[in-house]
Structure 1
Amino acid sequence: MADQRSGEDLVSEYLGQNRQLAQWVETQRSYNETSKQWVARREFILRNMEAFPSVQPGVPSTCLDRLLSLSMVWANQVFMGCSYPPAVMEKIQHMGEGIVVEDAPIFKSANSELSRGKRGAADESDAESLLKKAKTGPNEVVARATRPQKMAPPPQAPAEHQPFFNRLYKAVAWKLVSAGGFGPNLDHFEILRSCVESCKQTLTCVFVPLKDIAGLPASRTQKEGHVCEIRCHTVYLGTGYGRDEAAARAMASKEALKVFQGCKVTVKICRRRFKGRDVEDLLLLDEQPRSQGFPPALSYPFQDEQGESDT
């Protein structure tokens, strides 16, 4: 920057000149974000708004949902070291170009520490030992480093997420009361979206064409339409089918709101199918007993690479 001012200074000046935008963007801050994390993610949102021309502050849209979701993915990668599929990583790195995060955390894998330890030991050994390590050690390290790393929700995740969903439960309850109760004629997605945003979070919607889903009964494989999966804060809420993405999202939202009809909601780790194998996933559940399994997962935010799932 020619005037040597930081990105935070420029963003603050820009927001000072656009008060309405400043008020809106502050509503997008997550309840669990530190000031440092929020300042960085806020800059990400503002820098990339031009790439989403249909985004208007305060006006709900799928483009806005996508921008906010990408901002969370970028922040998770920068501040928590989360990994995503290569295409997603490339996109958020491109969108985050030019954003400087002072004293950003550095994440090291066990493989990198092992590799560094072997190099240090080799430097202190004699020539014969160095030659031996050069023939065997590096190959072993590379083999471990390139193997896909399986992940799962951490055991403490349900307890960490529960306070947020307790607040969301209250927000949904009041919203449904004001709407006259749960029913088929409600805009289920709008109710869910507005309640989630009032709790300083965003929804993530994943769409898959029905014809691309393997394992369906023969009578359904030829049907047109889409399946939608809704998550919030990495927690699965519901799945729905429709003739197009909007209809699928509406049905998934309706299924998600059904969970809020009980006396309380609970975040739990449960087994689900994802691309043909069992995984542990975070789900939001009510108190009702279930006689059958959960719908297969369309997305899985707890795994670095999903290549194994395709084999």
Structure 2
Amino acid sequence: MAEEGPGEDIVSEYLGQNPHLVQWVDSLRGICETNKQWNARKEFILRNLEAFPNVEPGVSSPSLDKLLSLSMVWANHVFLGCRYPQPVMEKIKGMAEGVKVLDAPVRKTRDEIMGKGKRGLDGKRYKDGPFPNAPAQNQPFFNRLYKAVAWKLVSEGGFGGPNLDHFEVLRSCVETAKASLSCVFVPLKDIPDLPVARTQREGQVCELRCQTVYLGTGYGRDEAAARAMASKEALKAFQGRKVIVRICRRRFQGNDVEDVVLVDDQTRNPTFPPALSYPFLHQSCS
């Protein structure tokens, strides 16, 4: 692709020269991606097609899965502020060279988000909470994901299999549904709402989301271990007869806030670990 000019003009010009790609690339759009998110990710995909020579439009392959996964990782980083291991960050930044995103969200440090020693929750510019229709908006996606996870677990020998990689099961099913997981990592000792006994321990906390919906939290000695435990907790919701997207109360910085969460059909009065960042700093579907 050409390296100059506004992103949409570059994409339009490239697709004008390659009309056979138009329908295929548009089929890769996620159900909850805004126009801005999709236009940027589409440019990312098209710019990197030549680096994945085994990708054939309309044909599933490991190369296509890798390209789409990297495009989602990049979009999550740019639009949702998600963080990934340094080698992954370096790779997606290199792949995104030349992609221009107008009015990209401005990121703050964790201390600014948490407002340590400064303003409380009421003094920050946060949304009041999730949109009332958020559960209904997200439920069809998670119904499909529930079926994908159920089949995947059967093929892997069940939830309690001795060699089950919970994160890989969840990640592969989410990506098959053309979405991606977002992970937030925070040092265990930096979480103010945890019990005293736990805050004295070293380690990491991981919070998992998909489509901005909270899935689970895990604790571990490092980020990989915390992510594995968060994935195991998230998969527990898929053990019921169905999954339900609900708005529930969670603690954040000593306050109760509303969050969109995934639970099973047996959960009546769920309790959740404290949120690692205010939930609605995450960009919502529109």
TM-score bracket for the superposition, by shorter chain length: 0.5 to 0.7
| Counterpart selection for 2:10 from 4, 7, 10 | 7
Decide whether aligned partners of structure 1 residues 269 and 2 sit closer, same or farther in structure 2, where only a CA change above 3 A counts. Answer: closer
Partner of 1:198: 176
CA distance in 2, matches of 1:252, 1:213: 16
Partner of 1:164: 141
Q: Is the 8 A contact 2:206 2:230 kept in 1?
A: yes
Larger CA Rg, structure 1 vs 2 = 1
SS at match of 2:197: coil
The one-letter amino acid of 2:43's match is E
Higher share in helix: 1
Partner of 1:42: 42
| Counterpart selection for 2:76 from 57, 64, 69 | 69
Shift of 1:216: 3.3
**TM-score for both structures, normalised by structure 2:** 0.66
| Counterpart selection for 2:207 from 222, 229, 237 | 229
Equivalent pairs, count: 230
Shift of 1:223: 1.6
Shift of 1:301: 3.6
Residue 148 in structure 1 maps to residue 155 in structure 2:
no
Shift of 1:43: 1.4
CA distance in 1, matches of 2:34, 2:278: 26
Residue 260 in structure 1 maps to residue 263 in structure 2:
no
> Once the two structures are aligned, what percentage of the paired residues are identical?
58
Shift of 1:66: 3.6
CA distance in 2, matches of 1:72, 1:268: 24
CA distance in 1, matches of 2:275, 2:180: 19
Shift of 1:46: 5.7
| Counterpart selection for 2:160 from 180, 183, 195 | 183
The one-letter amino acid of 1:8's match is V
SS at match of 1:302: helix
Shift of 1:8: 1.3
The within-5 A match list for 1:27-38 is: 29-33=29-33, 38=38
| Structure 2 unmatched ranges of 5 or more | 50-62, 82-92, 104-122
CA distance in 1, matches of 2:185, 2:101: 30
Shift of 1:282: 0.1
What is the RMSD computed on CA atoms of the aligned residues? Answer: 3.9
| Structure 1 unmatched ranges of 5 or more | 50-55, 75-90, 102-145, 305-311
Decide whether aligned partners of structure 1 residues 98 and 218 sit closer, same or farther in structure 2, where only a CA change above 3 A counts. Answer: closer
